[in-house]
Amino acid sequence: MALNQIKLRYLPGIASALCLLNFSIFWAASSHAACAEMFEVSMRKLHSQRQIDLCDLTQKKPVLIVNTASHCGFTPQFRGLEKLHLRYKDRGLVVIGFSSNDFNQEASKEAKAATVCYVNYGVTFTMLAPSHVKGPSANPVFVSLRAASQEPGWNFNKYLVGREGKKIEHYESRVAPNDAELIKAIESLL
């Protein structure tokens, strides 16, 4: 068989493979293109080895981000956050808790923090393993929040992020999850 015949014979298969490869690259890029840049990170779930791809979790959805601690005066807000999660999850709201000891009020053992969240308060929304939410060691999400809004001044600060990640509203710790202003802002994004 001549070299020209070999080229012609395998050319359709090579072209199909290249087309499939290009589609795969396009699909992967476009699926993450729907994700706000601040969520292009994976972080470990609280008291688990499982990594959570925040881009997959939040794509085209409004997100309520809260920095949490299990031994804070605001810790009972977990109940209200869970109610928000249950009330709005089917309409697209994603609630994410970022466990942190930046204010020296998180349990020293991650298992204890998980017990407070999951057992004591019945949390079913996504809770992430302890990380920094302020200062130079802040996790990438909180670096983005700080740049767009402000750094949390205490535990249970709430950040409401629009579907595209461009609109960010900040609520102080004292703003309860059932606060009328927060509810109105969430509903405006759904």
Q: Which two tokens stand for residue 161?
A: 């992020």
| Cβ-based neighbour number of residue 153 at 10 Å | 11
Closest C-alpha to 162, from 11, 40, 36: 36
Side-chain-facing half-sphere of 46: CA atoms under 13 Å: 28
Task: Give me the sign of the Cα torsion angle 127, 41, 135, 84.
Answer: negative
Examine the residue annotation and report whether 19 is marked as an active-site residue of this protein.
no
Catalytic residue among 19, 35, 55, 72: 72
Q: Where are the alpha helices (DSSP H) in the chain?
A: 3-33, 54-58, 77-88, 110-114, 140-148, 180-189
Q: Which two tokens stand for residue 67?
A: 């920095």
Residue 29 has what DSSP assignment?
A: H
**What span, in angstroms and rounded, lies between the C-alpha atoms of 36 and 140?**
12
Closest C-alpha to 38, from 149, 123, 129, 182: 149
Helix/strand/coil for 68:
strand
Active site residues: 72
